[in-house]
Amino acid sequence: MASKKIRVLIAKPGLDGHDRGVKVLAQGLRDAGMEVIYLGLRLTPEQIAQAVLQEDTDVVGLSSLSGAHMSLFPKTIKIIKEISSKHYLFICGGIIPQKDIPKLKEFGMAAVFGPGTAIAEISKFIQASVVEAR
Amino acid sequence: MRQYAGFATVQETNARYKYLYKQGNTGFSVALHLPTQIGYDSTHPMSAGEVGRCGVAIDSLQDMEELWDGISLAEISTSLTINATAPIILAMYIAAAENQGAKQSQLAGTVQNDVLKEYIARNTYIFDPETSIRLTTDVCQYCAQNLPKWNSISICGYHMRDAGATAIQEAAFALANGITYVQAMKNRGMAVDSFAPRFTFIVACNINFLEEVAKLRAMRRAWAKIMKERFDAQDPRSMMFRFHVQNDGFTSTAQQPLNNIIRTTISALACVMGGCQSLATTSYDEALALPSEEAARIALRTQQIIAYESGVADVTDPLGGSYFIEWLTNEIEDGINKYISTIDEMGGAMEAVKKGYIQREIQRSAYDYQKAVDFGEQVVVGINNFTIEEDLKIQLHEIGENVEEKQIERLKKLKRGRDNEKVGHALNKVSQVARSNDNIMPALIEVVKTYATVGEISDALRDVFGEYREPSIA
């Protein structure tokens, strides 16, 4: 099992086009030995959920810097959970005020990575969590 | 001093504008929410969650009119940060001003209208690059002919810098985009000196003080040469590199956020000493959320202290002659010229964007920077050094929960009350002009006056031009 590569899907729900963070993260996680699928911009929660199902990923990473995270992230998680019984690791990043973090975690978000997070911190978290789940 | 502001509904933004005005703000800068920027109404499914978030919701002329309630558009200067839908939003601004009794020739301000950089960073494009440049050029041409006090484009380095570009890349790619727009206007038979004095730039100002000063000096030099030598401009105003600076939001940290006030001060000093025409300083809480009123005020006070107390604004190019600044200016100018030659060989900035060249260059820099920070080669105070455990208790600005609902209700009510037959006719006219080679602006000014919405007008254009999807680069 340990030799199987971790599959990560990263997407930007909504209309936000700030993609520096997701692109840097995609490359960083690839360099850390993971398979990364970056879905791109302007996606609805439904489109992301379909892609997660098709790609059979371990991790779902969501990014938004426009302030729409409280409506789009929980909705995406909810739809994925409705259509798949698999256990996914949900993580997110963006401009997310501290007070929103507990609420996001209630919806099933495992971790929220804000500005200034090192890529190694995210990849370590993913590795530890996915290995535990497997 | 022109601070960027806009959020929630027009009533709330209008109140913030009046507040800033009383605090001594001398111009207005409108932030529009993402649906308006990408041509969706607040009622569109893609707009869910985004309404009023990172800017004010403008769906129709009604919103534009109320945004400026009690503020005379003939007397102020306004910057509209809008790109893909710039022709529509400018048409609404013109229509709102005319309804107030103003003449087009009285209107002063700037429309961003730089859509090429949207394919490189920020990504609020709608149409393919060729169509986008046609629409951009329509705006530039219309302004050159009808709005003599209006800056018809603001060519942006800022967003590319924010997306990870180095100082040289930011400068080079912005100027390369500028070349494309000037050429597009010339291709329409416009004389360079009839429009170039109204071409402006927006650049980022980062924290590396000396590099930023040198970058601004190098850009000024390079643009003057481009206009004079490549485009044969005669009027010195056509060769002037006029620019607005926004402190680079990327240098703000969420950790120990008050440190950002110091960062902003250093970077604001750099751009004042580099010769900027106007400046927007970043609020210290921007890495955490939209600016609170206090943070927005401190950002403005930073500028006022530099302008009125520090004395650095009393002299032009105060660092000129410094051996290091002169050397670095030359280095950056060389770097700019190398990139521009490469882009010329590819057939210009639009081709370089279509090939993904510019995007890849920036992405590489962004990744290199992240690695430098992660491995501690680049020190960022509070991030990889001098960190503390902290509980962030700063007062953040929050958007009310029901903004989306209110805006949707408002739009539905508008659609019920207007003359829908008139709207349909005017939309048909827009499609017709879009298919021809005529300038789109007069038809847009007509259609917005019927209270057709941003989404309806954008859909009419989508029917003619189709939509663009980004090529996969990551």
pLDDT tens-place string over residues B251-298:
889 899 999 999 999 999 999 999 998 888 889 988 777 778 899 899
The SS3 of residue B241 is coil
Collect all residues with Cβ–Cβ distance below 8 Å to A14 and sequence separation of at least 6. A42, A43, A64, A66, A68, A72, B34, B46, B48, B49, B50
The full length of chain B comes to: 474
Cα-Cα-Cα-Cα dihedral sign, residues A99, B49, B84, B406: negative
Output DSSP code: residue B471: P
**What distance in Å separates the CA atoms of residue B86 and residue B107, rounded to the nearest whole number?**
16
Give me the pLDDT at residue B394, please.
Answer: 60
User: Taking CB atoms and an 8 Å cutoff, what residues of chain A touch B399?
Assistant: 67
**What distance in Å separates the CA atoms of residue B168 and residue B160, rounded to the nearest whole number?**
11
- Token pair of B106 as six digits: 């009285």
Q: Predicted confidence band at B21 (pLDDT cuts at 50, 70, 90)?
A: confident
Q: What is the average pLDDT across B228-240? A: 98
**What distance in Å separates the CA atoms of residue B140 and residue B150, rounded to the nearest whole number?**
10
**Number of Cβ pairs < 8 A linking chain A and chain B:** 111
Give me the pLDDT at residue A117, please.
Answer: 93
Domain membership of residue B76 (yes or no) is no
Range name among B83-87, B103-107, B121-125 with the lowest pLDDT average: B121-125
Give me the pLDDT at residue B18, please.
Answer: 82
How wide is the angle at C-alpha B265 spanned by C-alphas B262 and B269, nearest 5°? 145
Q: What is the average pLDDT across B147-156? A: 97
DSSP chain A: -TTSPPEEEEE-BSS----HHHHHHHHHHHHTT-EEEE--SSB-HHHHHHHHHHHT-SEEEEEESSS-HHHHHHHHHHHHHHH--S--EEEEEES--GGGHHHHHHTT--EEE-TT--HHHHHHHHHHHHHHH-
Domain membership of residue B244 (yes or no) is yes
First to last CA, chain A: 8
Task: Report whether pLDDT(B57) > 80.
Answer: yes
Residue B193's alpha-carbon distances to B139, B178, B202, B412, B464, in angstroms, are 17, 15, 21, 46, 33
Q: What's the mean pLDDT when you consider all of chain B?
A: 93
Residue A62's alpha-carbon distances to A36, A68, A77, B46, in angstroms, are 13, 11, 10, 16
B254/A contact by beta carbon, under 8 A: yes
Give me the pLDDT at residue B247, please.
Answer: 84
Q: What is the average pLDDT across B201-223? A: 97
Are A28 and B38 inside 8 Å of each other by CB? Answer: no
pLDDT digits (tens, 9 = 90+) for B3-12: 666 677 889 8
Domain membership of residue B276 (yes or no) is yes
**What distance in Å separates the CA atoms of residue B320 and residue B218, rounded to the nearest whole number?**
12
**What distance in Å separates the CA atoms of residue B123 and residue A22, rounded to the nearest whole number?**
14
**Overall number of domains in chain B:** 1
B32 has which bridge partners? B56
Domain membership of residue B265 (yes or no) is yes
Q: What is the pLDDT along chain A (134 residues), one digit of tens a residue?
A: 456 899 999 999 999 999 999 999 999 999 999 999 999 999 999 999 999 999 999 999 999 988 889 999 999 999 999 999 999 999 999 989 888 999 999 999 999 999 889 999 999 999 999 988 77
Q: What is the average pLDDT across B316-341? A: 98
Give me the pLDDT at residue B6, please.
Answer: 64
Task: Report whether pLDDT(B114) > 90.
Answer: yes
Q: What is the average pLDDT across B378-404? A: 80
Give me the pLDDT at residue B2, please.
Answer: 61
Q: Which residue is closest to B375 within chain A, CA to CA? A: A118
Domain membership of residue B368 (yes or no) is yes
User: Taking CB atoms and an 8 Å cutoff, what residues of chain B touch A27?
Assistant: 363, 367, 474
Give me the pLDDT at residue A1, please.
Answer: 47
A28 → closest Cβ in B50, B370, B384? B370
Identify which of A71, A63, A64 has the alpha carbon closest to the alpha carbon of residue A29.
A63
User: Taking CB atoms and an 8 Å cutoff, what residues of chain B touch A118?
Assistant: 373-374, 384
Task: Report whether pLDDT(B217) > 80.
Answer: yes
User: Taking CB atoms and an 8 Å cutoff, what residues of chain B touch A28?
Assistant: 367, 370-371
Q: What is the average pLDDT across B161-179? A: 97
Say how many CA atoms lie within 13 Å of A102 toward its Cβ: 1
Residues 29-88, chain B, touching A (beta carbon < 8 A): 34-35, 37-38, 40, 45-50, 53-54
B372/A contact by beta carbon, under 8 A: no
Q: What is the average pLDDT across B410-424? A: 97
- Min CA distance, B233 vs chain A (Å)? 36
Domain membership of residue B396 (yes or no) is no
Output DSSP code: residue B390: -
Burial class (CB in 10 A: 0-12, 13-18, 19+), B462: middle
Q: What is the average pLDDT across B423-450? A: 98
Give me the pLDDT at residue B213, please.
Answer: 98
User: Taking CB atoms and an 8 Å cutoff, what residues of chain A touch B50?
Assistant: 14-16, 66-68
**What distance in Å separates the CA atoms of residue B197 and residue B190, rounded to the nearest whole number?**
13
By the 8 A CB rule, do A122 and A113 touch? Answer: yes
Task: Report whether pLDDT(B398) > 80.
Answer: no
Q: What is the average pLDDT across B237-256? A: 90
User: Taking CB atoms and an 8 Å cutoff, what residues of chain A touch B255?
Assistant: 116
- Token pair of A86 as six digits: 């698999």
* Structural domains of chain A in order of their starting residue, each with its CATH number: 7-133 (3.40.50.280)
Domain of B338, in residue numbers: 127-386
- Token pair of B98 as six digits: 């005319």
**Could you tell me how far CA A12 lies from the centroid of its own chain?**
9
Return left, alpha or beta for A4; rule: phi > 0 is left, psi -120 to 50 is alpha, else beta.
Answer: beta
Domain membership of residue B132 (yes or no) is yes
**What distance in Å separates the CA atoms of residue B122 and residue B113, rounded to the nearest whole number?**
14
Q: Predicted confidence band at B70 (pLDDT cuts at 50, 70, 90)?
A: confident
Best mutation site among B370, B379, B385, B458 for testing chain A: the one with the most A CBs within 10 Å?
B370
CATH number, domain of B322, equals 3.20.20.240
Count H helices and E strands in chain B, helices first: 20, 9
Say how many CA atoms lie within 13 Å of B125 toward its Cβ: 27
- Token pair of B454 as six digits: 């941003």
- Token pair of B128 as six digits: 């393919």
Domain membership of residue B450 (yes or no) is no
DSSP B35-99: HHHHT--TTSGGGTTTTTSSSB---SHHHHHHHTTTS-TTT-EEEEE-STTHHHHHHHHHHHHHH
Q: Which residue is closest to A115 within chain B, CA to CA? A: B254
Task: Report whether pLDDT(B426) > 90.
Answer: yes
- Min CA distance, B148 vs chain A (Å)? 33
